[in-house]
Amino acid sequence: MAKPIIALLTNNDDDVYCFRKELIEGLIAEGYEMLISCPYGPKFELMGGIPYIYDNPEIDRRGTNPVKDCGLLMHYHKLFKKYRPAVVLTYTAKPNVYASIVAHWMGIPVINNLTGLGSVINERGLKQKFIMSLFKMAYQKSACMMFQNATNMQVAIDQGMVKGDYRLIPGSGVNTDRYPLQPYPDGGDGKEGAPIVFNYIGRVLKDKRVDDYINAAKCIKQKYPQTEFNILGFIESTEMHYEVELKQLEEESIVIYRGSQKDVKPFIARAHCTIHPSTYGEGMSNVLLESASCGRFLITTNNPGCQETLEDGKTGYIYQGGNVDALVDAIERFLALPNEIRQQMGEAGRERVKAQFSREFVVKAYKEKIEELLQK
């Protein structure tokens, strides 16, 4: 008897390897065959030894023209017709929308994962209304919606997107073995002693408020010369002006641009704090969960998907998103702490992640829902 095929669809290889690998392995161990549809990227090289069927779709991640996306709709139709998956798992905006619509047409149950409302929440007028109508078309007939934070869940319910089953899960979860506790580096007060190292980890994107991080670094460096502000992540094709800006900022010793890294753990290990200034439509910030798992202090916004990852004043600081002065204040409060207190707060953050955000919780939720669907 042929194994049931579970299709997993997303828009980038990071999502597959960094956040879905344990789920893929777990489902294969349960006797399912995996079909992965995702544009090719270097992280697939790290998936060696895992058996799966691969599909390489063309996805314009940042484009918002649905006419251009008709090709993706047709691609998913051919894919599902060829393999007839028993269940479809979708992640990220376009697979969530277009794969769901096709699966509904073909009578295939879908489990959507709302990893955040992304740039849609920053849109206005007819454009936002049209995109929200697509979301309703995609989600209302889904077998289950998996939400990564309570705010997104409530918005989806209030907007009439959800008609069936839905669950709140702890983001994508974090593999605390892959992100173990790291020795905390020595550090002074930013003026004297060993340098204090900060990281911004994520796409270099205006919506992620990378400019807030840069402007805060400019302020802090004037008063605290023994600080280092790193930026790790790729520059979106729509934001290539940052290439020139970051080069200039490096020459001025404001920030260091580290580029896109296959493995951020060495950079987390040498840092004292991760700053995540996003006001983007996050699901649950993986950057913050991974940094906390390594025992690092967090500074982030009160944005849904960010604020849930820490306990303000105990494992990090939360500030008003979009307020650079508030970010500077949070950094200065951090610099005023003794280094042993920074370390203790970081270690408390790891314990919180282990208790509330383990990836095992997420994998278990998916296994249970898939088994339930296939027993119907």
Long-range residue pairs from 42-46, CB within 8 A, at least 24 positions apart, any chain:
42/13, 42/262, 43/13, 43/14, 43/16, 43/17, 43/18, 43/262, 44/13, 44/16, 44/17, 46/17, 46/262
The interaxial angle of helices 324-336 and 210-223, nearest 10 deg, is: 50
CATH 3.90.1170.20 fits 5-173+358-374, yes or no: no
CATH topology of domain 196-356: Rossmann fold (3.40.50)
Q: What is the pLDDT of residue 258?
A: 97
Same fold, 5-173+358-374 and 196-356: yes
Q: What is the pLDDT of residue 120?
A: 58
Beta strand segments in the chain, E: 5-9, 33-37, 53-55, 87-91, 110-114, 144-147, 165-168, 196-201, 227-232, 256-259, 273-276, 297-301, 316-319
Closest of 199, 219, 212 to residue 324, by C-alpha: 212
Each residue's pLDDT, cut to its tens digit, for the chain (376 residues) gives 678 999 999 999 999 999 999 999 999 999 999 999 999 999 999 998 999 999 999 998 776 666 778 999 999 999 999 999 999 999 998 999 999 999 999 999 999 998 876 555 555 667 777 778 888 999 999 999 999 999 889 988 988 999 999 999 999 999 999 999 999 999 999 999 999 999 999 999 998 999 999 999 999 999 999 999 999 999 988 899 999 999 999 999 999 999 999 899 999 999 999 999 999 877 899 999 999 999 999 999 999 999 999 999 999 999 999 999 999 999 999 999 999 999 999 999 999 999 999 999 999 999 999 999 999 7
Q: What is the DSSP string of 309-346?
A: GS-BTTTEEEE-TT-HHHHHHHHHHHHHS-HHHHHHHH
| Number of H-type helices and E-type strands within the chain | 14, 13
Sequence spans of domains, the chain:
5-173+358-374, 196-356
Long-range residue pairs from 363-369, CB within 8 A, at least 24 positions apart, any chain:
363/22, 363/23, 363/26, 363/173, 365/146, 365/167, 365/169, 366/23, 366/26, 366/27, 366/89, 366/111, 366/146, 367/26, 367/27, 367/30, 369/111, 369/143, 369/144, 369/165, 369/167
